[in-house]
Amino acid sequence: METQEAINYQRIAEAINYISINFKEQPNLDDVAQKVNLSPFHFQRMFTEWAGISPKKFLQYLSLEYAKSILKEKQATLFDAAFATGLSGTGRLHDLFINIEGMTPAEYKNGGRALSINYSFAESPFGKIIVASTSKGICYLAFADDQEEAFGQLQAQFPNAGYHQVVDMTQQNALFIFKKDWSELSTIKLHLKGTAFQLKVWEALLRIPLGGLYSYGLLAQDIQLPNASRAVGSAIGDNPVAFLIPCHRVIRSTGEFGQYHWGTTRKSAIIGWEAAQVNSVAV
Protein backbone atom coordinates (compact mmCIF):
# COMPACT_ATOMS: atom_id res chain seq x y z
CA MET A 1 0.00 0.00 0.00
CA GLU A 2 1.37 3.40 -0.95
CA THR A 3 2.14 5.84 1.80
CA GLN A 4 0.40 9.20 1.94
CA GLU A 5 3.73 10.86 1.17
CA ALA A 6 4.04 8.81 -2.02
CA ILE A 7 0.48 9.67 -3.05
CA ASN A 8 1.11 13.35 -2.42
CA TYR A 9 4.33 13.22 -4.44
CA GLN A 10 2.47 11.68 -7.40
CA ARG A 11 -0.07 14.50 -7.29
CA ILE A 12 2.59 17.16 -7.01
CA ALA A 13 4.62 15.51 -9.80
CA GLU A 14 1.54 15.60 -12.05
CA ALA A 15 1.07 19.27 -11.22
CA ILE A 16 4.73 20.05 -11.95
CA ASN A 17 4.52 18.22 -15.26
CA TYR A 18 1.44 20.23 -16.21
CA ILE A 19 3.11 23.52 -15.23
CA SER A 20 6.28 22.61 -17.14
CA ILE A 21 4.38 21.87 -20.33
CA ASN A 22 2.10 24.90 -20.07
CA PHE A 23 4.39 27.49 -18.49
CA LYS A 24 4.03 29.86 -21.46
CA GLU A 25 0.31 30.15 -20.65
CA GLN A 26 1.12 30.84 -16.98
CA PRO A 27 -1.60 28.53 -15.59
CA ASN A 28 -3.29 29.86 -12.46
CA LEU A 29 -4.03 28.02 -9.23
CA ASP A 30 -7.49 26.89 -10.34
CA ASP A 31 -6.15 25.44 -13.61
CA VAL A 32 -3.50 23.30 -11.92
CA ALA A 33 -5.74 22.24 -9.02
CA GLN A 34 -8.38 21.04 -11.46
CA LYS A 35 -5.74 19.03 -13.33
CA VAL A 36 -4.88 17.02 -10.19
CA ASN A 37 -8.52 16.76 -9.05
CA LEU A 38 -8.10 18.81 -5.87
CA SER A 39 -9.80 21.93 -4.64
CA PRO A 40 -7.67 25.08 -5.08
CA PHE A 41 -7.46 25.47 -1.28
CA HIS A 42 -6.37 21.86 -0.69
CA PHE A 43 -3.92 21.93 -3.59
CA GLN A 44 -2.37 25.22 -2.44
CA ARG A 45 -1.86 23.85 1.05
CA MET A 46 -0.47 20.49 -0.10
CA PHE A 47 1.89 22.07 -2.62
CA THR A 48 3.17 24.63 -0.13
CA GLU A 49 3.76 21.97 2.52
CA TRP A 50 5.69 19.83 0.03
CA ALA A 51 7.79 22.52 -1.69
CA GLY A 52 7.91 25.22 1.00
CA ILE A 53 6.57 27.82 -1.44
CA SER A 54 3.35 28.53 -3.32
CA PRO A 55 2.62 27.02 -6.77
CA LYS A 56 3.01 30.49 -8.28
CA LYS A 57 6.50 30.87 -6.83
CA PHE A 58 7.38 27.34 -7.87
CA LEU A 59 6.39 28.14 -11.44
CA GLN A 60 8.82 31.05 -11.40
CA TYR A 61 11.67 28.78 -10.27
CA LEU A 62 10.96 26.33 -13.08
CA SER A 63 10.85 28.95 -15.83
CA LEU A 64 13.46 29.06 -18.53
CA GLU A 65 14.39 32.58 -17.53
CA TYR A 66 15.37 31.33 -14.10
CA ALA A 67 17.56 28.63 -15.59
CA LYS A 68 19.23 31.08 -17.97
CA SER A 69 19.90 33.59 -15.20
CA ILE A 70 21.69 30.90 -13.19
CA LEU A 71 23.86 30.04 -16.18
CA LYS A 72 25.09 33.60 -16.65
CA GLU A 73 27.68 33.08 -13.96
CA LYS A 74 29.74 29.95 -13.48
CA GLN A 75 29.78 30.54 -9.73
CA ALA A 76 26.08 30.81 -8.87
CA THR A 77 25.28 33.65 -6.51
CA LEU A 78 22.64 31.49 -4.85
CA PHE A 79 25.46 29.55 -3.22
CA ASP A 80 26.47 32.63 -1.24
CA ALA A 81 23.01 32.70 0.35
CA ALA A 82 23.09 28.98 1.13
CA PHE A 83 26.62 29.27 2.52
CA ALA A 84 25.70 32.14 4.80
CA THR A 85 22.52 30.60 6.16
CA GLY A 86 23.18 26.95 6.96
CA LEU A 87 26.42 25.79 5.38
CA SER A 88 28.68 28.29 7.18
CA GLY A 89 32.31 27.23 7.45
CA THR A 90 31.95 24.23 5.18
CA GLY A 91 33.51 25.48 1.96
CA ARG A 92 32.20 24.02 -1.23
CA LEU A 93 29.41 21.50 -1.00
CA HIS A 94 31.57 18.64 -2.23
CA ASP A 95 34.08 19.30 0.55
CA LEU A 96 31.28 18.75 3.03
CA PHE A 97 29.79 15.43 2.23
CA ILE A 98 31.68 13.26 -0.22
CA ASN A 99 35.08 11.70 -0.65
CA ILE A 100 35.16 9.70 -3.87
CA GLU A 101 37.05 6.46 -3.52
CA GLY A 102 37.31 4.44 -6.70
CA MET A 103 37.18 0.65 -6.70
CA THR A 104 40.35 -1.32 -7.05
CA PRO A 105 41.12 -2.65 -10.55
CA ALA A 106 40.32 -6.16 -9.35
CA GLU A 107 36.88 -5.15 -8.04
CA TYR A 108 36.12 -3.34 -11.28
CA LYS A 109 37.20 -6.29 -13.42
CA ASN A 110 35.37 -9.07 -11.59
CA GLY A 111 32.04 -7.32 -11.22
CA GLY A 112 32.18 -7.02 -7.45
CA ARG A 113 33.13 -10.61 -6.60
CA ALA A 114 33.66 -11.00 -2.85
CA LEU A 115 31.97 -7.63 -2.38
CA SER A 116 29.20 -7.57 0.25
CA ILE A 117 26.44 -5.06 -0.51
CA ASN A 118 23.67 -3.97 1.84
CA TYR A 119 20.60 -2.44 0.25
CA SER A 120 17.25 -1.05 1.33
CA PHE A 121 14.29 0.94 0.06
CA ALA A 122 13.24 4.29 1.49
CA GLU A 123 10.92 7.19 0.80
CA SER A 124 12.17 10.54 -0.49
CA PRO A 125 10.38 13.77 -1.42
CA PHE A 126 10.59 12.59 -5.03
CA GLY A 127 9.37 9.00 -4.66
CA LYS A 128 10.73 5.68 -3.42
CA ILE A 129 14.48 5.09 -3.70
CA ILE A 130 16.86 2.15 -3.46
CA VAL A 131 20.15 2.78 -1.68
CA ALA A 132 23.06 0.35 -1.49
CA SER A 133 26.32 0.41 0.46
CA THR A 134 29.57 -1.45 0.96
CA SER A 135 31.98 -1.20 3.86
CA LYS A 136 33.56 1.76 2.07
CA GLY A 137 30.45 3.84 1.35
CA ILE A 138 27.37 4.31 -0.83
CA CYS A 139 27.80 2.44 -4.10
CA TYR A 140 24.35 2.96 -5.62
CA LEU A 141 21.28 5.16 -5.22
CA ALA A 142 18.38 5.32 -7.65
CA PHE A 143 14.71 6.18 -7.76
CA ALA A 144 12.73 2.95 -7.50
CA ASP A 145 9.27 3.30 -9.01
CA ASP A 146 9.36 -0.49 -9.45
CA GLN A 147 11.25 -2.19 -6.59
CA GLU A 148 11.94 -5.46 -8.38
CA GLU A 149 13.25 -3.65 -11.44
CA ALA A 150 15.33 -1.32 -9.29
CA PHE A 151 16.99 -4.24 -7.49
CA GLY A 152 17.68 -5.90 -10.85
CA GLN A 153 19.46 -2.76 -12.05
CA LEU A 154 21.55 -2.75 -8.88
CA GLN A 155 22.53 -6.38 -9.48
CA ALA A 156 23.51 -5.52 -13.05
CA GLN A 157 26.02 -3.01 -11.66
CA PHE A 158 27.68 -5.67 -9.47
CA PRO A 159 26.65 -9.08 -10.89
CA ASN A 160 28.95 -11.14 -8.69
CA ALA A 161 28.44 -9.43 -5.36
CA GLY A 162 26.60 -10.79 -2.33
CA TYR A 163 23.42 -8.89 -1.39
CA HIS A 164 21.73 -8.36 1.95
CA GLN A 165 18.51 -6.38 2.40
CA VAL A 166 19.41 -4.45 5.52
CA VAL A 167 19.58 -0.81 6.58
CA ASP A 168 22.99 0.31 7.87
CA MET A 169 24.42 3.55 9.22
CA THR A 170 26.09 4.39 5.91
CA GLN A 171 22.68 4.43 4.23
CA GLN A 172 21.03 6.34 7.07
CA ASN A 173 23.69 9.05 6.96
CA ALA A 174 23.18 9.46 3.22
CA LEU A 175 19.41 9.84 3.59
CA PHE A 176 19.82 12.86 5.88
CA ILE A 177 20.27 14.94 2.72
CA PHE A 178 16.58 14.49 1.88
CA LYS A 179 15.64 15.81 5.32
CA LYS A 180 17.70 18.97 4.81
CA ASP A 181 19.96 18.02 7.72
CA TRP A 182 23.17 19.40 6.25
CA SER A 183 25.08 18.81 9.49
CA GLU A 184 25.46 15.12 8.61
CA LEU A 185 26.83 15.61 5.09
CA SER A 186 30.47 15.21 6.07
CA THR A 187 29.77 11.63 7.17
CA ILE A 188 28.66 10.51 3.69
CA LYS A 189 31.18 8.61 1.59
CA LEU A 190 30.86 7.03 -1.83
CA HIS A 191 32.33 3.80 -3.15
CA LEU A 192 32.17 4.19 -6.91
CA LYS A 193 32.98 1.96 -9.85
CA GLY A 194 33.95 4.03 -12.87
CA THR A 195 36.63 5.01 -15.33
CA ALA A 196 39.05 7.81 -14.54
CA PHE A 197 37.09 10.12 -16.86
CA GLN A 198 33.75 9.26 -15.24
CA LEU A 199 35.16 9.90 -11.76
CA LYS A 200 36.47 13.25 -12.94
CA VAL A 201 33.04 14.26 -14.24
CA TRP A 202 31.29 13.06 -11.09
CA GLU A 203 33.71 15.04 -8.94
CA ALA A 204 32.95 18.12 -11.06
CA LEU A 205 29.23 17.60 -10.46
CA LEU A 206 29.89 17.82 -6.73
CA ARG A 207 31.23 21.33 -7.19
CA ILE A 208 27.89 22.61 -8.49
CA PRO A 209 26.33 24.31 -5.45
CA LEU A 210 22.82 23.78 -4.17
CA GLY A 211 20.50 25.88 -6.32
CA GLY A 212 23.08 26.21 -9.10
CA LEU A 213 22.77 24.95 -12.68
CA TYR A 214 25.50 24.28 -15.24
CA SER A 215 25.34 23.52 -18.93
CA TYR A 216 27.19 20.51 -20.34
CA GLY A 217 29.65 22.95 -21.90
CA LEU A 218 30.40 24.65 -18.59
CA LEU A 219 30.99 21.31 -16.94
CA ALA A 220 33.37 20.31 -19.76
CA GLN A 221 35.27 23.55 -19.19
CA ASP A 222 35.38 22.83 -15.47
CA ILE A 223 37.31 19.60 -16.10
CA GLN A 224 39.52 21.42 -18.65
CA LEU A 225 38.14 19.50 -21.63
CA PRO A 226 36.03 22.17 -23.38
CA ASN A 227 35.43 20.05 -26.47
CA ALA A 228 34.18 17.01 -24.56
CA SER A 229 30.58 18.05 -23.96
CA ARG A 230 29.19 14.86 -25.50
CA ALA A 231 31.48 12.61 -23.48
CA VAL A 232 30.59 14.59 -20.37
CA GLY A 233 26.92 13.97 -21.11
CA SER A 234 27.54 10.22 -21.35
CA ALA A 235 29.40 10.19 -18.03
CA ILE A 236 26.56 12.13 -16.41
CA GLY A 237 24.09 9.57 -17.73
CA ASP A 238 26.16 6.80 -16.13
CA ASN A 239 26.04 8.38 -12.67
CA PRO A 240 25.25 5.48 -10.28
CA VAL A 241 24.31 7.67 -7.30
CA ALA A 242 21.23 9.82 -7.88
CA PHE A 243 20.84 13.13 -6.05
CA LEU A 244 24.01 12.78 -3.91
CA ILE A 245 26.00 13.28 -7.10
CA PRO A 246 23.79 16.06 -8.51
CA CYS A 247 23.58 15.23 -12.20
CA HIS A 248 20.13 16.88 -12.14
CA ARG A 249 21.88 20.28 -11.93
CA VAL A 250 23.18 20.00 -15.50
CA ILE A 251 20.87 21.38 -18.18
CA ARG A 252 21.06 22.39 -21.82
CA SER A 253 22.77 25.65 -22.81
CA THR A 254 19.39 26.90 -24.07
CA GLY A 255 18.06 26.83 -20.50
CA GLU A 256 15.86 23.77 -21.08
CA PHE A 257 16.18 21.16 -18.34
CA GLY A 258 16.67 18.29 -20.80
CA GLN A 259 16.50 14.55 -20.15
CA TYR A 260 17.02 12.76 -16.86
CA HIS A 261 17.50 9.05 -16.24
CA TRP A 262 14.64 9.02 -13.73
CA GLY A 263 12.27 11.25 -15.71
CA THR A 264 12.15 14.92 -16.73
CA THR A 265 9.27 15.62 -14.35
CA ARG A 266 11.34 14.38 -11.41
CA LYS A 267 14.32 16.47 -12.60
CA SER A 268 12.12 19.58 -12.71
CA ALA A 269 10.79 18.76 -9.26
CA ILE A 270 14.28 18.40 -7.78
CA ILE A 271 15.57 21.62 -9.37
CA GLY A 272 12.55 23.55 -8.11
CA TRP A 273 12.77 21.98 -4.66
CA GLU A 274 16.44 22.93 -4.33
CA ALA A 275 15.72 26.47 -5.49
CA ALA A 276 13.02 26.66 -2.83
CA GLN A 277 15.47 25.58 -0.13
CA VAL A 278 17.94 28.30 -1.10
CA ASN A 279 15.17 30.89 -1.37
CA SER A 280 13.73 29.98 2.03
CA VAL A 281 17.05 30.52 3.83
CA ALA A 282 17.86 33.67 1.83
CA VAL A 283 14.63 35.49 2.74
Catalytic center residues = 247
What is the 3-state secondary structure of 79-96?
HHHHHHCCCCCCCCHHHH
Print burial letters for 121-153: b (CB count within 10 Å at least 16), e (below 16).
ebebbbbbbbbbbbebbbbbbbbbeeeeebbee
- Rounded CA gap, 122 and 171, in Å? 10
Torsion sign, CA atoms 21, 180, 182, 77: positive
For 210, residues 6+ apart whose C-beta sits below 8 A from its C-beta are 78, 79, 82, 87, 93, 274, 277, 278
Q: Is 75 helix (H, G, I), strand (E, B) or coil?
A: coil
Q: Which of 277, 268, 23 is nearest to 126 (CA)?
A: 268
Torsion sign, CA atoms 108, 110, 115, 117: positive
- Rounded CA gap, 149 and 87, in Å? 36
